[in-house]
Chain A
Amino acid sequence: MNLTLRVWRQSAPDARGSIVNYEANDISPDMSFLEMLDVVNERLTERGEIPIAFDHDCREGICGSCGVMINGAAHGPMRGTATCQLHMRSFTDGDTITVEPWRARAFPVIKDLCVDRSAFDRIIAAGGYVSANTGGARDANEILIPKENVDTAMDAAACIGCGACVAACPNASASLFTAAKITHLGLLPQGQPERYRRALRMVTRMDLESFGGCTLFGECQDACPKEISIDTIARMNRDYLKAVMIAKAEPDSTTA
């Protein structure tokens, strides 16, 4: 396959960036999108040019490192797929492909296609965990959980924190990410003691991180490589409202 790439190049966080055109010739349709970029980078290196910087790690769709805007869609045209598992057979010979980094003030560009997603880490640190005393491993199935809750929690737990939801959102809102974490922990018995405090803290942190507000476009759900449902956002809103209105007093383990 012969392709034309239009790639965002930006040498440093404060540098001015621009779209640069590259010819990507003799690309195998069996390559993943990242492998295609590897090939382009090899050729750039051989020519003495600086390769295109992009994030990647596991390349099997579970780490959440990779992710770029491909032809105006987060992670490209395939549904339920991260950029690493998108294959070049999804494109046709002669295509022009526009590749851009996630765009959000909360995700500043570090270089080229790499963005700083530590805003997500701070949302997790605000409450996206279960406080538990350590000890010996518990027996399996010691705590029984209704099947329906397990399934919904598991679907939400599939979130890999890639940031596609923010990237695809016309508002650049982080609601789907935060909601996935709140749903995942809030449905399990282990997550109950901190449920409302968690919702309050994580949503407050999200609002502080200069993301936009959710107006339910629904784009996040479509962009999510794990196909997480926007129903989680409704659940987050419900927990958050309850937390605010009844100000449920949960014992605070961090100050106790």
Chain B
Amino acid sequence: MIINEVKEKIYEIGFDDIIEIDAAPNGEPIDYRDLNAMIHARTLKNCKKIVLYNICGQRFIGAALQGDFEIIINGVPGNDLGIFMDGPKITVYGNCEDQVGNTMNQGSMIINGNGGDVIGLSARGGTIYIKGDVGYRVGIHMKEYKNKFPIIIIGGTAKDFLGEYMAGGIIVVLGLKFLPDGSIIDIDQSICGNELGTGIHRGSIYLRTDEKLEDKLGVGAKIVEFDGKGKEEIGPFLYEYCETFNIPFDLVINKQFQVIKPISKRPYGGTYCNKMI
């Protein structure tokens, strides 16, 4: 009987319900707790698409949400966007702040703008696609297990400590610049900051550049050649990224990539006997 009741309820509300929420009625932004409670209530009613307008720094949007639905954000979401998220798709039209995809488990995130610091920290799965530049400590302590791994693709540049203590997953930095007239060129500055991949012990960082990265390498990281295997690894995701942001795939793939890998699985294993293994 109970099952029947649930089924009736689903039928009543429907699957393709789109709900729009104005997060700043009369210009006054609502509290993040109220906003998240609203989103939660809607998702429990099988709403498949939630469109948020006038977002202004509300934190924890999409926190710990599970299921297959989409959240579209217009504005600047606050810290910890999609924290512990497990499945949904979040699209942001605007810049975002720090800690996007904190400990994310599954799902996808598309940022049509720049990102802040510490994106994808401790992420365990899912994809984060960012069109513009990102800040410091992106992909810190990402991890992977068997077939489950997180992917971060950055269109612009990254700053210091990219992939710090990385324990799995893939980070790709493309070094592209999007001009106001719609054309796409390669950047003329450095693609990443210093301490690249410090303490990395699994996973890989792909950088689309021909600049010398030796000086920027952190402890425990090394540069390896970009071979067919690497192409196979990032190819499908890169293709999806290019489709998402309307970037010609040939332009992206036809340039030298460099790959950062760990020198060992346990870079600090020898800490107490003064050597690196």
Say if A and B assemble together: no
